[in-house]
Structure 1
Amino acid sequence: MSMPDAQDGAPVTDGAGSPAEAAGQRPVLVINAGSSSLKYQLVVAGSGTSLATGLIERIGLDEGRATHTVDGQGHVLEQEIPDHTAAFEVLTAQFRDHGPDLQEAAPVAIGHRVVHGGAKFASTVLIDDEVLKTLRRLVPLAPLHNPGNIAGIEVALETFPDLPQVAVFDTAFHQSMPPAAYTYAIPLSWRQTFNIRSYGFHGTSHSYVSRRTAELLGTPLEETNVVVLHLGNGASACAVEGGRSVDTSMGLSPLGGLVMGTRPGDLDPGLPAHMSRVSGMTLPEFDHALNKESGLKALAGSSDFREVMDLRDSGDPDAELAFDVVVHRLVRHLGALALVLGRLDAVAFTAGIGENSPELRAAVLGRAGLLGVELDEQANAGARGETRISTPDSAVAAFVVPTNEEWEIALEAARLLANH
């Protein structure tokens, strides 16, 4: 998934007055639709300027809630929001009532986040009937995420029929992985008939953060090797070589790799059969347990990392163990991905936990001396926004780099339209 270099306010451009530059100066309405929520942002692709953000929650539940933020001021609406059609009616009403006016802002496109593109989509695409049909066929690969993404696309096509609609895939950035990285040692028929392989996720975040890290280092992207640690309620690690993903911790689904809020990360593949034998657990029950009842929630009783840290500070042994398990898994994947790269220039922490937990960063980097990382404890403790948290003499740099997936989606949409 190639991306234009548009940091520090530089527009998406192929030359003065080009279609790319024109597209980059107009906003993109970025949509991230889930099964019961809809996040949106109106963002100028060329500069990353956010004109408005919004979150519509509890879609299909008794009490819906919508928050629309413009110029730092939030406008809250509470009412029943029965489905995604009603959610888009709320979205358009929020823009109409609180601005900016969508007619005047004239977005160039709508960019949709889609979690799983399978092997079919290796890059951003314009959405048409054939793309929608393919996305529906891919639902079994991401049954908890893609249906909500598709529902958002379908209603957006009805609500904004004259705007180009673009799908940006979490998996697309990882399509550059070599076969040795994405191939599972499973029967050939599984791989060929059902496309079972490692796909990886959080691609828009890994793409943005790795590119931004190269800029902070002052080195060309194509010459920079970075391990990006995207640590939020969902978490993944990615080895990025010269701007291309070469390996990542998540696989076929968003369950693998690192410990997450309610997801376990790596497991012995014999566990489902074992639990069936000893407890009679069915596959749907097992699937629910891994997606909703595991991770931090299973270890410490809370899926919120901040609550886990508060419990740890109070001496709770379960929270202490949870923290240690999270760190151990991170160190294991960081070391493995560094070896995959062969040469490591930087480690970048991003997303809610990665950006806001100096304790976690210190615990991980405190065990990364073998890689050549020397932590600057003062810089780490005070990190706010983009911050180098390694010492000037550190052989491998470490950074906190806030992710900006919405801007990345806007950039992708603008670049695609400029090339059509």
Structure 2
Amino acid sequence: MPARNILVINCGSSSIKFALVNEAHSQFTLSGIAECLGHHDAVLQWQRGGEKDSLMIPNADHRAALSQLLPLVQGAAGGKLHGIGHRVVHGGERFTRAQRIDAAVLEAIRATAPLAPLHNPANLLGIEAALKLYPNLPQVAVFDTAFHQTLPEHAYRYALPEALYRQHGVRRYGFHGTSHRYVSHRAADMAGLSSGDSSWLSAHLGNGCSTCAIVNGQSRDTSMGLTPLEGLAMGTRSGDVDPNLHSHLARTLGWNLERIERLLNHESGLLGLSGLSNDMRSLEQARDQGHAGATLAIEVFCYRLAKSLAAMSCALPQLDGLIFTGGIGENSPLVRSKTVAHLKLLGLSLDKEANARCIRGVAGAIQSYGHPRVLVVPTNEERQIALDTLALLDG
């Protein structure tokens, strides 16, 4: 059977990230982004092989952008596209694995939207547009939350009245599941271990950040909760704060819920601490030049990350390794070294040269000789979504 092609789509409210994945090749056949959708300066940008190109698509919506994308995809796939895999952020408790999209799945994604109001409606826009354009093509939803449906009840329940959970779904769900699952399998391969018989701590670090405890290929705990705001300090998200902060800000500053949510989701984290940027690369440069805010932001980020990893270790029977992944995890030797320096009780220590070498897609072991395994593993959520899509087609 010839190698199959899967189009992977990740829709935001005004953007579509896409990748054409061929099951026989490690590199994407085609990849890119349509952004600023709905605006006059909407643009489609793509890369095929070593060549980059772009097309202005003024005022295009998701359907119009996908219709412009179709000829590019069909050309790159040689006219043979076998399915579409859609990233969906929140699947609630309904979905424990990827699902072939039908009317019932669409309605369930729509019903889960209150749990992810910034994400699920945007994901639905892409799905509905793709279904209209490719009605006869198999389409699959892959959920960020599905991997974490193996959390035990003592890990996913909040200490709140049971009715809030039973009637309104208030519990910890976790996110970045596709990434944590992918890198834990890759880490096991790199270490010569079975993913079904190994235990890992995983740190997915980008603009959004989360940690995960993975035992025998299953998530046992994770740092994000009901929403992606819980847990680590992130690019613009605060992560954990005193739950009574809302009341304090409402009483003392007169802020309403919308203002407080904007603060915690868009004005905090690295950006809020530094007063400068949510980009770790910019902050590292500013730190080198003596910027106090950037220095503090990095210190808080790394300390909070180490605390979370130490907490996740409670869910492991043993530690076969710590994984760093995501844009920051794969490219910041500074963050990795500062984080590991806080984890001496776990026996972790880094080899300075190996740590410096693992950037820009270079994977590898970075621990000092004789110390527990620490790996840099580039994530590939698009490939995992394509693999999940192919698995459903085969089933």
Which TM-score band (shorter chain)? over 0.9
Matches within 5 A, 1:328-407: 328-384=303-359, 385-394=362-371, 396-407=372-383
Matches within 5 A, 1:234-273: 234-273=208-247
1:374 Cα offset (Å): 2.2
d(CA) in 2 for partners of 1:193, 1:32: 30
Q: Tell me, yes or no, if the aligned pair for 1:200 and 1:249 is still in contact at 8 Å.
A: yes
1:334 Cα offset (Å): 0.9
1:105 Cα offset (Å): 4.2
1:32 Cα offset (Å): 0.3
Q: Tell me, yes or no, if the aligned pair for 2:195 and 2:216 is still in contact at 8 Å.
A: yes
1:46 Cα offset (Å): 5.1
1:369 Cα offset (Å): 2.2
The answer on 1:59 being equivalent to 2:37 is yes
**SS of the residue 1:373 aligns to:** coil
Matches within 5 A, 1:22-171: 25-45=3-23, 47-95=25-73, 99-100=75-76, 102=77, 104-171=78-145
1:93 Cα offset (Å): 4.0
**SS of the residue 2:230 aligns to:** coil
The answer on 1:230 being equivalent to 2:207 is no
**SS of the residue 2:159 aligns to:** coil
d(CA) in 1 for partners of 2:116, 2:283: 28
1:412 maps to 388
RMSD of aligned alpha carbons: 1.4
Structure 1: where are the runs of 5+ without partners? Answer: 1-21
1:338 Cα offset (Å): 1.4
**SS of the residue 1:286 aligns to:** helix
Q: Tell me, yes or no, if the aligned pair for 1:139 and 1:147 is still in contact at 8 Å.
A: yes
Deviations 1:251-301 (CA, angstroms, capped at 9, x unpaired)? 000111111111111111111111111111111221122221111111112
1:45 Cα offset (Å): 3.1
TM, length-normalised to structure 2? 0.96
Q: Tell me, yes or no, if the aligned pair for 2:20 and 2:73 is still in contact at 8 Å.
A: no
Q: Tell me, yes or no, if the aligned pair for 1:108 and 1:163 is still in contact at 8 Å.
A: yes
d(CA) in 2 for partners of 1:79, 1:138: 31
RCO higher in 1 or 2 (8 Å CA, sep ≥ 6)?
1
1:313 maps to 288
**SS of the residue 1:116 aligns to:** coil
1:34 Cα offset (Å): 0.5
Letter in 2 for 1:402: P
1:18 maps to none
What is the number of residues matched between the two proteins? 392
Letter in 1 for 2:119: H
Runs ≥4 in structure 1, deviation > 4 angstroms? none
**SS of the residue 1:50 aligns to:** coil
Q: Tell me, yes or no, if the aligned pair for 1:227 and 1:348 is still in contact at 8 Å.
A: yes
Deviations 1:71-100 (CA, angstroms, capped at 9, x unpaired)? 12111112314311111122124346xx31
d(CA) in 2 for partners of 1:299, 1:62: 34
2:157 maps to 183
Deviations 1:313-369 (CA, angstroms, capped at 9, x unpaired)? 111111111011101101101111112213111001001000000011011112222
Letter in 1 for 2:295: E
d(CA) in 1 for partners of 2:22, 2:375: 26
Instruction: Call closer, same or farther: CA 1:306–1:49 in 2, change over 3 Å.
Output: closer
Q: Select between 274-283 and 199-208 the one with higher mean Cα deviation.
A: 274-283
Structure 2: where are the runs of 5+ without partners? Answer: none
1:411 Cα offset (Å): 0.5
Q: Tell me, yes or no, if the aligned pair for 1:27 and 1:105 is still in contact at 8 Å.
A: no
d(CA) in 2 for partners of 1:329, 1:212: 26
d(CA) in 2 for partners of 1:206, 1:276: 37
TM, length-normalised to structure 1? 0.91
Letter in 2 for 1:203: G
d(CA) in 2 for partners of 1:338, 1:264: 23
Q: Tell me, yes or no, if the aligned pair for 1:225 and 1:346 is still in contact at 8 Å.
A: yes
